[in-house]
Amino acid sequence: MKAWYAMLGIWMSAVIYEAFALPEIRGLVGHPIAYFHPPIAIVTFIAFLVAMIHGLRYLRWNDPIHDVKSSKAAEVGLLFCFLATVTGAMWSKANWGTFWSWDPKQTSIFVVLLIYAAYFSLRSSTPNPDRRHRLCAVYTVIGFISAVLLMFILPRIGFSLHPNDAMMGGGSDRPVRLLFWASVLGFSGVFAWMMELAVKLALMEMKIKEMSQ
Amino acid sequence: MSTSLTVTNLCKQFEHRVVLRNVSFSVANGHALVVTGPNGSGKTTLMRILSGLMLPTSGAASLEIDGTVVDFDERRREVGFVTPEVHVYPELTPVENLKFFHTVRGLEWDEAEAAHWLRRVGLDARRDDPVGNFSSGMKQRVKLICALAHHPSLLLLDEPGANLDERGRESLSGMVEIQRKRGMTIIATNDPKELTLGDEIVALRA
Amino acid sequence: MTKSSLSGRKRNPSFWRSIGAIFGKDLASELRTRFAVNTLLLFSVTSLTIVSFSTARTPLTKEAQSALLWIVIFFSAMTGLARSFVREEESGTADALRLTAPAESVFLGKFAFNCVLLLCVEAVVVPLSLIFWAVSVDAPLFFTVVLFAGNIGLSAVATLMAAIVAQTSMQAGLFAVLSFPVLIPLLFTAVRATLLSMDAVRQVGEIAPVIRMLFVFDIVMLTLGFLLFDYIWRDRK
């Protein structure tokens, strides 16, 4: 396990170094953040997908361990979501001149932030544990589906400033694309690592509570 | 038709508080069982698990009819449950309540039968009054007939005598007698007068 | 006991009747207490008056009108639509319903009831706002379809969330917090569609895709509700 963490550290350092070293991307300003913001946004969605999968597993198996995993994925996801919103605003300022422009993607990430913030107020206001696990698991499903709906609907009724395929698709140079996906992979690794730590911690807390009873 | 209820190693835990530990018993067709125990011994929790409202942490309570286990969706027709925490609709009249629970259970509605039940518990004079205006003893009677009118295989009575007067208690024991012919009864109570309603007693410890 | 009256074992296969029974029961208790409908109507008329009064001197743009209309409808929904579930939990009848009714018919029955409540709100709010704001609706048919589609989506999400918050300790406050972000796709689309239907010389080609989005949202949420409601409603394996 230690070797994995070391590799993750080296990988992320390399990504960060390259992000500052690579030349500008065509048509985009403020480029180093281009290698952080979109990957963070993508990992946000991965995190909430993981939360939903564990939520569904809870509903299927009724095992509290899935609730722990689901809620911790949502917790780390919320942190990534917050980072995505902030880095998005910074990039927006550099690129379009304003921090906020209600661009569909900006709106989406903000609403996703609201959805998962609501998830935690639901958690804290349901004292009965069986109920809390069950309702929260269902909400991760509703939350994820409505986030997907949002991404699907908003661009179709509004307008977009977002450089959709600037980096992922064929419009960019090979090193740019490579670094972009390396960054996505790196941030996914960071997410997995943080989630694992959070789950471990929660399980330890549960054990301590059990022993002190 | 033969029905049976088998409870094996039933445990219930809320977070780390253990409420029920390894409860096992079984009831056969035509029998009535009384569950007693001090406050906090888990009588109500046990009844909620038997009704299907609550899941046990481990162990099982399986209701069988002619050798096949009844699942939750079937239970709504096979179980009748009276408990101080579950109420009938206060805005509706006794007849409307009966009709409502009958319809959502997916059963045919019969006006004459409703009148019969209301007469039985002495409520036919108040049949068009909303239950919210009733005294607590009369509400208890409405709850009783709502749990009985669909002829359940398993009748669960949690402190059924609460709020009932002498006449109400008489009709209660009459109902338990009728239920003996149809299926099983489980009564959770600490009232010495109700202990005699059952043929067996299970005592829960706190 | 007379044997002839024992019709109890005969089973009715269709669950439409149980949906009807739940809808009818909610309607009957609502007609007797008039609690939800009074709150809803008073709230919607009050908020509409505040908006109209404070903007009386400045003519509203069509964008503002359609947004305000949906804001009033949304918040009215948030004041009243949780009521039917919260009441079940408070008066201890929710468990009786859990024991006797199939979860899907509870969802659909309550959904139908919430739809009707919201229709009452719209029947008052929409004509009033058209008068207060002197709105001209150029495509009344589309306008009605938008209201209808919005009503379905709002009621579906509200019914789901009401069933959730009724089981928590801070019901009313949580209801809007949970529902709002989930309803945003619907609200944005509905505002846009309302704007299009108010505006003159719009092509069908421009309005139709937006209305289609509304129905996509409705169908997704109703399906989600139908599949997930049992898990919201009770402990199950």
pLDDT value, residue C15: 78
Question: Residue B1: its pLDDT value, please?
Answer: 67
What is the per-residue pLDDT across B108-133, written as a single tens digit (0 to 9) for each?
A: 888 888 898 899 888 888 888 999 99
Selected residue with higher pLDDT from B158 and A28? B158
Which range, of A122-136, C3-17, C57-71, C222-236, averages the lowest pLDDT?
A: C3-17
Say whether residue A210 is in contact with chain B using an 8 A CB cutoff: yes
Q: Give the closest of C8, C102, C236 to B107, CB-based.
A: C8
Query: Rounded CA gap, C44 and C123, in Å?
Result: 11
Which chain A residues have a beta carbon less than 8 Å from that of B14?
A: 128-129
Q: Which two tokens stand for residue A148?
A: 């997907």
Chain A closest-CA separation from residue B16 CA (Å)? 6
Report, as an integer, the average pLDDT of C154-172. 92
Contact A158 C188 (CB under 8 A): yes
Tokens 């949780």 map to which residue?
A: C82
Confidence of residue C202 (pLDDT cuts 50, 70, 90): low
Q: Which range (B96-100, C87-91, C196-200) has the least confidence?
A: C196-200
Under 8 Å between Cβ of B178 and C1: yes
Q: What is the average pLDDT score of chain B?
A: 89
The predicted structure's pLDDT at residue C57: 85
Assess whether pLDDT exceeds 80 at residue C150.
yes
> How far apart are the C-alpha atoms of B72 and B70, rounded to whole Å?
7
Residue, of C123 and A106, whose pLDDT is higher: C123
Q: Where are the domains of chain B?
A: 30-52+73-203
C167 vs A131, A154, A158: nearest CB: A131
Are the beta carbons of C177 and A146 separated by less than 8 Å? no
Q: What is residue A26's predicted lDDT score, i.e. its pLDDT? A: 58
Type of residue at A63: D
Alpha helices for C55-82 (secondary structure H): 62-80
What does the pLDDT average to over C71-76?
A: 93
The model's confidence at residue C201, banded by pLDDT at 50, 70 and 90, is low
C44 pLDDT band, cuts 50/70/90, is: very high
pLDDT category of residue C11 using cuts at 50, 70 and 90: very low
What pLDDT is attached to residue C158?
A: 96
The pLDDT of residue A161: 52
Q: Is the pLDDT of residue A157 over 80?
A: no
Beta strands in B116-182 (DSSP E): 154-158
pLDDT for res A162: 57
Chain mean pLDDT for chain A? 86
User: Would an 8 Å CB–CB cutoff place C132 in contact with chain B?
Assistant: no
Contact indicator for C142, C211 with CB cutoff of 8 Å: yes
Q: What string of H, E and C letters represents the secondary structure of chain A?
A: CHHHHHHHHHHHHHHHHHHHHCCCCCCCCCHHHHHCHHHHHHHHHHHHHHHHHHHHHHHHHCCHHHHHHHHHHHHHHHHHHHHHHHHHHHHHHHHHCCCCCCCHHHHHHHHHHHHHHHHHHHHHCCCCHHHHHHHHHHHHHHHHHHHHHHHHHHHHHCCCCCCCCCCCCCCCCHHHHHHHHHHHHHHHHHHHHHHHHHHHHHHHHHHHHHHHC
Sign (positive/negative) of CA torsion A167, A171, A175, A177?
A: positive
Q: For residue C214, give the nearest of C192, C189, C195 by alpha carbon.
A: C189
pTM: 0.90
CATH of B30-52+73-203, one of 3.20.20.150, 3.30.750.24, 3.40.50.300, 3.40.640.10: 3.40.50.300
* Chain B CA closest to residue A130: B14
Position with higher pLDDT, A173 vs A191 = A191
User: Could you tell me the two tokens for A80?
Assistant: 């990534």
Provide mean pLDDT across the span B162-190.
88
Q: What mean pLDDT do residues A171-180 have?
A: 74
Quote the percentage of chain C above a pLDDT of 90: 59
Over residues C137-165, the mean pLDDT reads 94
Ramachandran bin of B191, using left for φ above 0, alpha for ψ from -120 to 50, beta for the remaining angles: beta
User: What is the pLDDT, as a whole number, of residue B171?
Assistant: 85
pLDDT digits 0-9 by tens, B29-74: 999 999 999 988 899 999 999 998 888 989 989 999 888 888 877 8
- Give the mean pLDDT of chain C: 87
Q: Which amino acid is at C39?
A: T
Is A129 in Cβ contact with B16 (below 8 Å)?
no
Bigger pLDDT: A170 or C45? C45
Convert the pLDDT of each residue in A99-142 to its tens digit: 888 888 888 899 999 999 999 999 999 988 889 999 999 999 99
Question: Residue ranges of the domains in chain C?
Answer: 13-235
**What pLDDT is stored for residue C63 in this prediction?**
85
- Weakest-pLDDT range from A105-109, A188-192, C6-10, C192-196: C6-10
Q: Which candidate from B16, B54, B55 shows the least CB-CB separation from A209?
A: B16
Find chains touching chain A: ≥3 CB pairs under 8 Å.
B, C
Which chains does B contact via 3+ CB–CB distances below 8 A?
A: A, C
d(CA A184, CA A37): 10
Asked if B145 and B97 count as a contact pair (C-beta separation under 8 A), the reply is: no
